[in-house]
Amino acid sequence: MAENLPITVGGEPSGAGDSYGSCAEIIGLELDILGKPVNLRIGVGQGQARLTDIVPLAQAVCTKITDAVLERIRSDGGCIPCRKGCSACCSSLVPLSVSEALRLREAILAMPESQRRLMQQSCLLVAQRILKRKPPKSFVAQTAGTSPNSLDEGNMVASWYRNLNLACPFHYKGVCTIYEQRPLACREHFVKGSARACKGGRGTAEEVKMPVQMVAALAQLASELEGTGVEAVMLPLVLVWAQENVERAKQTWPAAMMVERFVEIVKVMASKNSTAVITQT
């Protein structure tokens, strides 16, 4: 386990093989996801943490939840055709939480120059194409970093974006070039049914709805910590947005307080959706 990180993530609370020696506190997260227990141990340092520091924890929780949901669907006889290399959904609108947007910018800036330039150019190209088209009213707020005010507005923006038929700027030759850093919305996007249907062919594909969406949990956390509205950033606009909001990556809060609040948010969201139907059309 890496040292000097304010927040570190372990697995099941077995105790064996864990290395939390440098952590001041261990916080447990226990969830019931569709009847399956999901447990994580979170090591928290004594110091301060930035918004970006909580993203690996959200990714770990996301993996645990999606594994539990997919296992349940498969055990019920459902087919999940999603595979690494399938990019049928990579032209959809991908919302990022503020924490992810700031962290992704840092990851891109840390890449070798040639790779970084390609990504910057690709993002700029897609961003220009987005901004040239006449967006729905709520889009203006969203590009400024504010979520649509209602589900209807969110659906309208998603539908408008789909019609632009834009590939993700990080998609290259059938591969996600930021796979290890890909957004939470990509990590928790799965369909049940036929992959052919995702590409406009025969059959049906239903989107799997996760009981807790980590993007929403992170967005709420950032909103509470910063005292802002709940925000989302469109993926192709991430570099432009993050550059304008770079100061927000510097602000810190006590790591323990940040993790405790994140755990509470996730638990409340999970309990609200504990009996939710796991697919939506």
Query: Within the chain, how many helices (H) and strands (E) appear?
Result: 10, 12
Q: Does 101 bind ligand SF4 (CB under 6 A)?
A: no
Interface residues for ligand SF4 in 151-210 (CB under 6 A)?
A: 168, 170-171, 176, 178, 182-183, 186
Closer residue to ligand SF4 (CB): 95 or 211 = 95
d(CA 196, CA 125) in angstroms, rounded, equals: 29
Q: Count of residues binding ligand SF4 (CB under 6 A)?
A: 11
CB of 89 to ligand SF4, least distance (A): 7
Pick from 143, 127, 175, 120: which is nearest to 244 by CA?
143
Closer residue to ligand SF4 (CB): 8 or 59 = 59
CB of 175 to ligand SF4, least distance (A): 8
CB of 234 to ligand SF4, least distance (A): 11
Closer residue to ligand SF4 (CB): 10 or 183 = 183
Print the binding letters for residues 65-94 with ligand SF4: x by CB under 6 A, - otherwise: ----------------------x--x---x
CB of 81 to ligand SF4, least distance (A): 15
d(CA 41, CA 51) in angstroms, rounded, equals: 19
| Neighbouring-strand partners of residue 68 | none
In the sheet where 191-193 sits, what is the strand order? 191-193, 205-208, 279-280
CB of 123 to ligand SF4, least distance (A): 11
CB of 168 to ligand SF4, least distance (A): 3
d(CA 189, CA 202) in angstroms, rounded, equals: 20
Pick from 223, 228, 237, 227: which is nearest to 143 by CA?
237
Pick from 127, 105, 123: which is nearest to 244 by CA?
105
Neighbours of 30 (CB within 10 A): 12
The contact set with ligand SF4 (CB under 6 A) reads 87, 90, 94, 168, 170-171, 176, 178, 182-183, 186
